[in-house]
Structure 1
Amino acid sequence: MFQSVGSPHHLIARRSRAANAMQLNFSQQMKMSQQMKLAPRMIQSMEILQLPVMALQERIDQELAENVALEMKENESDISDTEAEVEAEKAREDVETEKHEREELSMESDREFERLVEMSSEWPDDNLGSGSKVSSNRMDEMGDRQHDAMANMLARPQSLTDSLLEQFGFFNVPPEIGEFGDFLIQNLDKDGRLQGSLEETIMLFGKPITEEDATTTLGLIQMLDPPGVGARDVKECLLLQIKPETPYRDALITLISGHLEDLAQNRIPIIQKKTGLDIETIKAATEELAHLDPYPGRGYTDETSQNVTPDVEITRDDSGKYKVRLLDEWTPSLKISPYYLKQLRNDPDAQTKEYIKKKIDSAKWLIESIEQRNNTLRRVSQAIVDHQRDFFEDGPEAIAPLKMQQIADVVGVHVTTVSRAVDDKWVQTPRGLFPLKRFFGGGTQTSDGDEVAWDIIRMKLKEIVDNEDKSNPLSDDALVEELKKHGYNLARRTVTKYRKNMDIPSSRQRREY
């Protein structure tokens, strides 16, 4: 006889198996696995490589202030002296460590040493030798640099809000209108327009004010400079800028009030039919419309423009070869402090010795990271220049397709190293100032099988559009055929994409009547 699935015996057996499966099994197991972890030194090298020259200068100033074992080289003689001292220290380190351990075992009396942070108060300045002198000179130079930076700092430009509040203050208005006017001004967006409707702004104001007073206040703000501020939409912004003496005033008001979309699509015949204006008047009014600013607030900004400092300079020698030179005048040469190297050899206590060694190792890592950065940047830049020689000879129209992997293969580094080396770096060339990333880009093949960069195709596309018959502009299909005549076989969607990216209007919008 078969036992039913729902019988008590079957349920007990199933619960017993489930209980056994849920028992925890505690055991020790050995497992081998490989993990790749970046050492702190490698992380620091990558960070230093990615820094542009001015950021590197700030990093060095920070390290000079924090690391007592790091100093600036005063002159060229410091280079050989410091390097020799460091090498000698490396050779003596093992011997002295072994000797120190033997002496520690044989000595029974305790030795007391002052900590490193108390050395400056224990020893007079005249016994510190070159250490204090270099530190003093370093502090003087850092102070001079900070003073120069403050002296050349641009004054904060006046913002749109500051300008409008200053102008609005000249109106002799009741307190409630003055307070609401300040609130309105502070609620304008960066384009100078009112955010939301006037009714919504009254509700946000949260204080008693009539709609009539609110409308009067908004009208006062719309009288301020720049013309067009305080508008609630584009139409009102443009209409506020039309004066009684504006040429084609009536035609402008008509076009702005009801035909902005038709103007954007260049539907001149439709506008002519709807308004009864002749084409010449419409074209003349459109030219006047181009002088109006739909974003009057954008003339003000709270941000100051940043100067670009090139990291690399490219020059041409007498033989016609282009050479790379790092512009590192802002970057001081660094060395290990001889004073603290000497203190390390004087056999300090274990805590002091560990502190000094830590600072010296940190200084060595920084110096080596900077040298590695400069060497990598120089090699990467030279490889770029060698590949883009035609660019420097004939101009941007001769730029060649280039991928970072190609430069990585030439230099013998990983592609991410090339990416970090060129990131936020600028190069001064005989043809102007360019970001290093400017020389990288994809491309395609011509009908002859030659590689051509996308930049060249974009320039050719612009040239074709500029020289077309504006009364019968080329469609995207026609642009494809024109590019094919020059050897560039591209799909229509590719041409359309580049036309839009270059802000080239469609053929209908480019047509002139």
Structure 2
Amino acid sequence: MKQSLQLKLTQHLALTPQLQQSIKLLQLSTLDLNQEIERFLQENPMLERADEPEMHMPGEASDFSNGDSRTEVQNETAPTEERSASDEFASDDWGEINYSNTPRDDDDDSDYSQQTAEIPTLRDHLEDQLRLLPLETRDHALVSILIDNLGDDGLLSISLDEVLETLPEELEVEMEELRIALCYLQNLEPIGIGARTISECLMLQMAPMPTTPTVRLARQICERHLDLLAGKDYARLKKLLGCDEEALRSAQYLIRSLNPRPGAEFAQSDNRYIVPDVVVKQVKGAWVASLNSAAMPRLRVNRMYANILQQHRENGGSQLAMQLQEAKWLIKNVEQRFDTILRVSQAIVDRQYRFFEHGEVAMRPLVLRDIAEVLDLHESTISRVTTQKFMFTPRGIFELKYFFGSHVETEAGGECSAIAIKALIKQLVGNEDAKKPLSDSAISEVLAKQGINVARRTVAKYREAMQIPPVNQRKSL
């Protein structure tokens, strides 16, 4: 085989470190962005928050007030490695990002950290009651064991047989002792606690009620026919119970007033708060998007370290010089991130302005390509911008991706957004006769009369996506 040398020219896209960082920051949520910035602040001494007091070298505080000794930082799209030292360090604006129009008063003492009152757990609530009962140490311990096996809903998650198997044999605990401990537990508040099934939970809550015909009928339903009530099989219920529709309606109302999850109020909920990136308001008849200053960090280059580097650049300082460049890159990329979010948000608002005026029924079909063509950006960029970015509007807070969706063609040759169709289905279900609810086929026919051709299976898919129960479960007495 003969060996030879060949010269070949090819082109390929090389992602610079600055471009890689820009892409990474663009797809981060506000929470993840703040965490990433905190990491940079800890690793790079050249970077600091703009709301922190500036550090000055002794005897050099006046240097920063002299605007003639420094020139403005140039914002390049692709900074090169061959800049001169004087261009690198001589700076007036050190790349500060400040989106807030409200001056901060550092002497204001009104910014207190909010402290939330501690909510007692279900176990603590039950143990506090248990201490007040005149029980033997052994009984107290058995009730505590049952409390430890309660679920978040307050129901006993395992059977008494399983509890007995977990106990050491040397304790010689008998099943009757566990049943007695369970009775002690079920007499604690909230009422219904310690039940092994939903049926038992409802029966415990009705136990102290006076025995009226309605209560008696409700107990029969909870004890034997709770599944038929859940399936809204009213005809079979009336036949099995031998009651009329009015009596069944009263019993159903009573059962609905009970709490099948008595321990839910003590569940520790993990509240997650959303800070919107964009705020939409109507200004002089037009809908305008603006950046939310509360969601944007204020960053700048540390002037003291930068001046130290400028004064000693002849002695090396390559590490500090690289950190200064990284700080400038971060400041520029963060600024570019929010500028892109604002551009995309305004393009969405311009396309979906009818939504802000009339609601979901006026939502227009929109895909990523539509916004990408308007802004001359790639679809992948629009996808990154609209993921985990939120918009505050007079109609609520929405993720930017909410405004995108598929469409269905109408008889007139136009297009109708899937979100608008879901809103119409929700309206039809909300206004239907509860005794004769609309089936998926009936909803499809109503939409067809409005010029929207939607198949029955599509209606069923949209209805399930909105967690609307089927027609048989929406029927009421």
1:451 is displaced (CA, Å) by 1.3
Matched, 1:261 2:223: no
Instruction: Map 1:263-302; keep pairs closer than 5 Å.
Output: 263-302=229-268
1:385 alignment partner in structure 2: 349
2:365 alignment partner in structure 1: 401
Instruction: Map 1:2-401; keep pairs closer than 5 Å.
Output: 38-53=15-30, 55-73=32-50, 84=71, 86-87=73-74, 94=83, 151-206=113-168, 207-245=171-209, 248-318=214-284, 320-329=285-294, 331-348=296-313, 353-401=317-365
1:88 is displaced (CA, Å) by 12
1:95 is displaced (CA, Å) by 5.1
User: Larger Cα Rg: Structure 1 or Structure 2?
Assistant: 1
| Whole-angstrom distance in 2 between the partners of 1:314 and 1:245 | 53
| Whole-angstrom distance in 1 between the partners of 2:156 and 2:14 | 54
Letter in 2 for 1:210: E
Q: TM-score, normalization: structure 2?
A: 0.81
Letter in 1 for 2:269: E
Letter in 2 for 1:501: A
1:501 alignment partner in structure 2: 465
**1:91–1:259 distance in 2 versus 1, CA, 3 Å:** closer
Q: Counting helix residues as a fraction of each chain, which structure ranks higher? A: 1
Between the two proteins, what is the percent identity of the paired residues?
34
Q: Is the 1:82–1:336 Cα contact (8 Å) retained in structure 2?
A: no
Letter in 1 for 2:300: K
| Whole-angstrom distance in 1 between the partners of 2:107 and 2:174 | 59
After superposition, give the CA deviation of every residue in 1:289-335 in whole Å (9 maximum; x if it has no partner): 111122222222223423332211112222x2222211124645333
**1:507–1:427 distance in 2 versus 1, CA, 3 Å:** closer
Instruction: Map 1:443-458; keep pairs closer than 5 Å.
Output: 443-458=407-422
Letter in 2 for 1:354: S
Q: Is the 1:265–1:509 Cα contact (8 Å) retained in structure 2?
A: yes
1:152 is displaced (CA, Å) by 0.9
Q: Is the 2:238–2:245 Cα contact (8 Å) retained in structure 1?
A: yes
1:161 is displaced (CA, Å) by 2.3
SS in 2 for 1:473: coil
Q: Is the 2:149–2:158 Cα contact (8 Å) retained in structure 1?
A: no
**1:338–1:468 distance in 2 versus 1, CA, 3 Å:** closer
Q: Higher mean Cα deviation, 163-172 or 369-378?
A: 163-172
1:127 alignment partner in structure 2: none
| Whole-angstrom distance in 2 between the partners of 1:91 and 1:34 | 20
| Whole-angstrom distance in 1 between the partners of 2:68 and 2:111 | 32
Q: Is the 1:156–1:304 Cα contact (8 Å) retained in structure 2?
A: no
**1:88–1:157 distance in 2 versus 1, CA, 3 Å:** closer
Aligned residues: 440
| Whole-angstrom distance in 1 between the partners of 2:176 and 2:11 | 76
Q: Is the 1:82–1:335 Cα contact (8 Å) retained in structure 2?
A: no
1:363 is displaced (CA, Å) by 0.4
1:145 is displaced (CA, Å) by 12
| Whole-angstrom distance in 1 between the partners of 2:443 and 2:155 | 40
SS in 1 for 2:309: helix
Q: Is the 2:408–2:454 Cα contact (8 Å) retained in structure 1?
A: no
Q: Is the 1:391–1:397 Cα contact (8 Å) retained in structure 2?
A: yes
Report runs of 4+ in structure 1 exceeding 6 Å deviation: 27-37, 80-83, 88-93, 143-147
Q: Is the 1:176–1:209 Cα contact (8 Å) retained in structure 2?
A: no
Residue in structure 2 matching 1:463, options 427, 448, 453: 427
1:52 is displaced (CA, Å) by 3.9
1:35 is displaced (CA, Å) by 7.9
Q: Is the 2:389–2:399 Cα contact (8 Å) retained in structure 1?
A: yes
**1:331–1:270 distance in 2 versus 1, CA, 3 Å:** closer
| Whole-angstrom distance in 2 between the partners of 1:171 and 1:279 | 45
Instruction: Map 1:471-486; keep pairs closer than 5 Å.
Output: 471-486=435-450
| Whole-angstrom distance in 2 between the partners of 1:160 and 1:355 | 55
